[in-house]
Structure 1
Amino acid sequence: MKCKRCNTSEGCLVSRNETFCGACFSRFVLLKFRKQMMLDEYYQQVFKVLYADKNRTAEEADEENARSVILVPLSLGSSSLAMLDLLNQTLIEQRSAHNRTGFQVKVVLCGFSTEMDELKKLAGWLQTERLAANADCIDFYFLDLDRSFSDCEVDKLLLASEGYDTRKVTSTGESATLSDILDQFSGRSSRDDMLCFARQHLIKRFASQHQVKVIMWGHSVTRLADEIVSLVIKGRGAQIASALNSTDMDAEYGALFKNLYPLRDVLLSELDAYCTLANLQRYIYNYSLQDSLFIKRQGEATQANRAVSMAKNMTINELTRQYFDAVEKDYSNVISTIVRTGSKLDYPNASTADVIHCSICNNRVYIDASKWLKSITVNDCHPPVSDEDLSMLQMWEASSKGQETIAQKHARSDIWSAATEAPLCYGCIVTLNETKEKELNWPSRENEVSEVLAEFTLTDEV
């Protein structure tokens, strides 16, 4: 079967009901990527090679090219790896056409201490084998998630035992690694959420302190649809508008950069196929490439035997991802429709003129979620109505378990009275309610603007 684009080469894969050869498919992905890079004038000024004109001298143009810094969070999955490869191609083409480049790239990899050796090894291979032609303008950095939080001050966030009021005890003097923080949650979905918040926060703080103009997130349209549906399920729907905003500067981090999703028109299966065609499998970490688009599926047996997790053991994101994996090939329009709909959502109307941010996820709080939850739930215990009820209550209070519970309640009451208010969004209140003692040690954000380097614990470059 011939490729529908060039009509000369044999087709090797089918995507969106169209047959492609390898070269035409790679070009197809590249063009979708480039289209997003030219989304508006701001991005055009960042990514294009600038020359002297009526607004700038040659020296000023060179300085602006050098100041056009973009940040690539690299997970070494298929999406972010494909994005970095496409960026590398763009830089090579700029060198060939202009004998210079229009932007600099900082690549940041986040991982736990136990993952660092493997991440550095793969990044080293990638830099020497694939990115050597642009070694002067692509730099690698590593953020150790455990060490990044070990030196920062920790607040204790509290959820009322009765009702949904929230408070915090500031700067408890305790320190903890991110692994310790995540261990406070019993559910995998909550741990996954907290890890996502921590990783995103570190990346954006890094960007705000390193003169970055654009963060390029390697999210496919499949991943974006997964995120939109997951946010709705978790009660975080108010975050969708800000999460997908590529037009405005990121106000929560000083309005210093924009967030761009250059692969938002490309399916995850298409990026997996791109990585296979580009021979990027060697650099993949903790991910298995799909080969569902290829006419001759070489890994069919592997795909058939892939272990399927039970729903009760999966996080919300894993469940939604499993659904989109199932519909992506035959019903890709479902995925694109979700992302288009999500992109049309506007910011909610705030109940107050003050801009309040959640003490955990740092997203804006639009309504008093605690007040709303109390209005729709019964929070008081039912009082004893008979002598038998009263007798049983007195027996429990006299027991060792009852006395221990009452003592804990009094101790918590003393802590509560000394604590200050801590605004939380609805999603984080639900998450905090899932912790063992309805309390959470979480890194303080009070003084982090001036303490960035200590918090990041940035290691050496590759």
Structure 2
Amino acid sequence: MSGKHLPKEIAAAGQICRRCRAAEAFLVVRTEPLCRDCFIKYVHTKVIKRMESFRVRFSAVDQSRKLLLPVSFGVSSLTLLHVLDQHLSKQKERTGRTGFELQLLFVDTSSVERASPEPQLVSLLKGQFPDHSCTSVFLSSIFEDESTDSEADFREYLPAVAQADAQPPSAEQRLEHLMKSLPSATARSDVMSVLRTRLIAKIAEEKGCEGILWGDCTTRLAEKTLAETAKGRGFSLPWQVIDGDSPYGIAFNYPLRDLLKKELTAYADMANPPFSSLIHRSPGSGQLSVSSKHTTIDDLMKQYFESVEENYPSIVANVVRTTSKLQAPPSQRTDQFCRLCNMPVTNGKFGIHGWGGDQQDSTDALPELSGNGLCYGCARSLPQVTAL
């Protein structure tokens, strides 16, 4: 992609790279003109600095450290995969081994999401990154677990599927029925995201991974900060946007947290070998629906921050830096967890009661939403019948 096709905010025609002082700048990164090579190095450095604890010297020769990388076929997760693939290749060239190995995972939501990536992209991904194990699973497989652990099982809160015969409903039918029962586009998006996270964490544990590498960049983390707060799950931010242990019993890591989405988009256009053909661009992406009925909180936050980062990237970065200062409360054995999102709920403040602010005045009219094992955010997303 030539400089003339770049947005005017990052075009750098006629300037000299501020780092190497030799080549013509290709784009301006947060006021700093960079050439192609220095920009690629800039992206790699930002990512690898976040992977310091997984260097070769910290791994045993006879022990392979596994990390799960969920691939959504968006520019962020593919950029992360591309950077780490090249990093591991260089590690192997220098030392004969790597500090960790990647397990790739794609969660197929095509049964309940029309704009989901095409299945053939998985085959293309395996062909371009053959050194990494890649697994594809359907989102509905979250319902196939036969575990009866009452503390972890969320399925008792989901609506029953009407059946014409005695055969139990399939996992696909349960997922489809659940999505149709949800009251709004925001609720469907929220529950689908929660189920996807639960499934990814479950598979990471089954594969013996010690952590999950999420492809959330600065822009995405800022979006999530405001979106989760608006949905009533602000208390969970220390586990959703910060590196470290999670309530799922596995570490969450965000290696792209210092990079803006527009920087990842520019990287994808110049990466070698190229991977832009793998990026899934859903129809109408970046545009809000003309009907508010089909617009989600996540859509609003995405549009807002992607527009802000063009001219005011420091605002986006400040949101993430401020959120990063949050600290999770000390874990206690008496902590209770939301049955759906698995986030700790302190002092038994389940449902609307305890987290609804001024809405607490009306909780007497909705006693069924109190003490139901769901946090405030999940109680608002699930239909009332499922929260009984």
Would you call these one fold, judging by a TM-score over 0.5? yes
The structural deviation recorded for 1:234 is 1.1
1:276 aligns with 2:222: no
What letter corresponds to residue 50 of structure 2 in structure 1? Q
Alpha-carbon distance between aligned partners in 2 of 1:85 and 1:187, rounded to the nearest angstrom: 36
The one of 189, 197, 202 aligned to 2:199: 202
What letter corresponds to residue 284 of structure 1 in structure 2? I
Change (3 A) 1:196 1:8: same
The number of equivalent residue pairs is: 346
The one of 220, 233, 237 aligned to 1:236: 233
Q: Could you tell me which residue of structure 1 aligns to residue 345 of structure 2?
A: 365
User: Per the alignment, in what secondary structure is the counterpart of residue 270 of structure 1?
Assistant: helix
The one of 142, 145, 158 aligned to 2:139: 145
Q: What CA deviation, in whole Å up to 9, does each residue of 1:138-176 have, x standing for no partner?
A: 100011112442565841459xxxxxxxxxxxxxx7654
The structural deviation recorded for 1:119 is 4.7
Deviates more, 1:196-205 or 1:357-366: 357-366
Alpha-carbon distance between aligned partners in 1 of 2:270 and 2:222, rounded to the nearest angstrom: 25
The structural deviation recorded for 1:178 is 1.9
The one of 341, 355, 369 aligned to 2:322: 341
Alpha-carbon distance between aligned partners in 1 of 2:66 and 2:109, rounded to the nearest angstrom: 26
User: Per the alignment, in what secondary structure is the counterpart of residue 142 of structure 1?
Assistant: strand
Change (3 A) 1:118 1:17: closer
Indicate if the aligned counterparts of 1:77 and 1:287 stay in contact, CA closer than 8 A: no
Q: Could you tell me which residue of structure 1 aligns to residue 385 of structure 2?
A: 439
Q: Could you tell me which residue of structure 1 aligns to residue 362 of structure 2?
A: 377
What letter corresponds to residue 425 of structure 1 in structure 2? C
User: Per the alignment, in what secondary structure is the counterpart of residue 329 of structure 1?
Assistant: helix
What letter corresponds to residue 6 of structure 1 in structure 2? C
What letter corresponds to residue 124 of structure 2 in structure 1? W
Q: Could you tell me which residue of structure 1 aligns to residue 8 of structure 2?
A: none
Alignment of 1:212-361 (within 5 A): 212-247=209-244, 249-250=245-246, 252-254=247-249, 257-278=250-271, 279-287=274-282, 307-310=287-290, 312=292, 313-347=294-328, 354-361=334-341
Q: What CA deviation, in whole Å up to 9, does each residue of 1:20-40 have, x standing for no partner?
A: 2221111100000011111xx
The structural deviation recorded for 1:113 is 5.0
Q: Could you tell me which residue of structure 2 aligns to residue 80 of structure 1?
A: 77
What letter corresponds to residue 271 of structure 1 in structure 2? L
TM-score (norm 1): 0.68
The structural deviation recorded for 1:380 is 5.3
Indicate if the aligned counterparts of 1:49 and 1:94 stay in contact, CA closer than 8 A: no
Change (3 A) 1:110 1:15: same
The structural deviation recorded for 1:344 is 1.2
Indicate if the aligned counterparts of 1:74 and 1:107 stay in contact, CA closer than 8 A: yes
Change (3 A) 1:151 1:364: closer
The structural deviation recorded for 1:9 is 2.0
What letter corresponds to residue 358 of structure 1 in structure 2? C
1:98 aligns with 2:99: no
User: Per the alignment, in what secondary structure is the counterpart of residue 178 of structure 2?
Assistant: helix
Q: Could you tell me which residue of structure 1 aligns to residue 40 of structure 2?
A: 26
What letter corresponds to residue 439 of structure 1 in structure 2? V
Alpha-carbon distance between aligned partners in 2 of 1:223 and 1:14, rounded to the nearest angstrom: 21
Indicate if the aligned counterparts of 1:116 and 1:144 stay in contact, CA closer than 8 A: no
1:192 aligns with 2:189: yes
Alpha-carbon distance between aligned partners in 1 of 2:139 and 2:20, rounded to the nearest angstrom: 47
The one of 35, 48, 51 aligned to 2:56: 48
Larger radius of gyration: 1
Change (3 A) 1:378 1:356: closer
TM-score (norm 2): 0.80
The one of 377, 382, 386 aligned to 1:427: 377
The structural deviation recorded for 1:117 is 11
Alpha-carbon distance between aligned partners in 1 of 2:158 and 2:308, rounded to the nearest angstrom: 40
The structural deviation recorded for 1:104 is 1.3
Alpha-carbon distance between aligned partners in 2 of 1:207 and 1:239, rounded to the nearest angstrom: 21
Q: Percent identity?
A: 29
What letter corresponds to residue 31 of structure 1 in structure 2? T
Indicate if the aligned counterparts of 2:106 and 2:135 stay in contact, CA closer than 8 A: yes
Q: CA RMSD in A?
A: 3.2
Q: Could you tell me which residue of structure 1 aligns to residue 9 of structure 2?
A: none
Show structure 1 runs of 5+ residues with no match: 39-43, 52-60, 159-172, 289-301, 382-412, 443-462
Alpha-carbon distance between aligned partners in 2 of 1:14 and 1:287, rounded to the nearest angstrom: 28
Alpha-carbon distance between aligned partners in 1 of 2:329 and 2:234, rounded to the nearest angstrom: 10
1:12 aligns with 2:5: no
Indicate if the aligned counterparts of 1:113 and 1:146 stay in contact, CA closer than 8 A: no
User: Per the alignment, in what secondary structure is the counterpart of residue 156 of structure 2?
Assistant: strand
Alpha-carbon distance between aligned partners in 2 of 1:29 and 1:99, rounded to the nearest angstrom: 25
